Structure 1
Amino acid sequence: MAHTCKDCGAAVAATDKKCSVCGEELVAKPKLLPIAAFMLIVILVIQAYMDKPEEKESVPAEPAKAASQ
């Protein structure tokens, strides 16, 4: 699949690192999978902390009073 040089507009091969016409370095597109995996991990960690129940201080219960005398 051929790409186009952003500097001069010439068609270049997908495997080329530089344009064969003007010599401009071609920028590779970033891979989406590592970015998506990182974002998924971040979301899961945040969700785990948000779902964690808050620990409340427990108040000791008063002993049951004796039945009416």
Structure 2
Amino acid sequence: MSVACKACGAPVPANAKACPGCGAAVSVKSKLVPLAAFMLIVILIIQSYMSKSEDLASEATPAAPVNSAEQ
């Protein structure tokens, strides 16, 4: 698959680092940004599940009864 050069409009092969027509540098699309966004979403989901389980655990423990002799 070839893309068009932004400088001259000539077709540039997908694996080329520069345009064969004018020599302009071809920008390489980074896959790092979508990967980082995906990892951030996964971390936030895991964190929300962990905080929910901690909230449920703290609500589930009953308080110890108070004896009138201890007061």
TM-score when scaled to structure 2? 0.60
Which is helix-richer, 1 or 2?
2
Deviations 1:10-59 (A, max 9, x none): 11100101111121111111227623541333222331344131747x76
Count of aligned pairs: 64
1:23 aligns with 2:23: yes
Q: Which runs of 5 or more structure 2 residues have no equivalent in the other structure?
A: none
Cα distance in 2 for residues equivalent to 1:18 and 1:37: 30
Q: Which runs of 5 or more structure 1 residues have no equivalent in the other structure?
A: none
1:45 aligns with 2:49: no
- Rg larger in structure: 1
Please report the RMSD computed on the Cα atoms of aligned residues, expressed in angstroms.
3.1
Cα distance in 2 for residues equivalent to 1:46 and 1:8: 49
Name the % identity: 23
TM-score when scaled to structure 1? 0.62
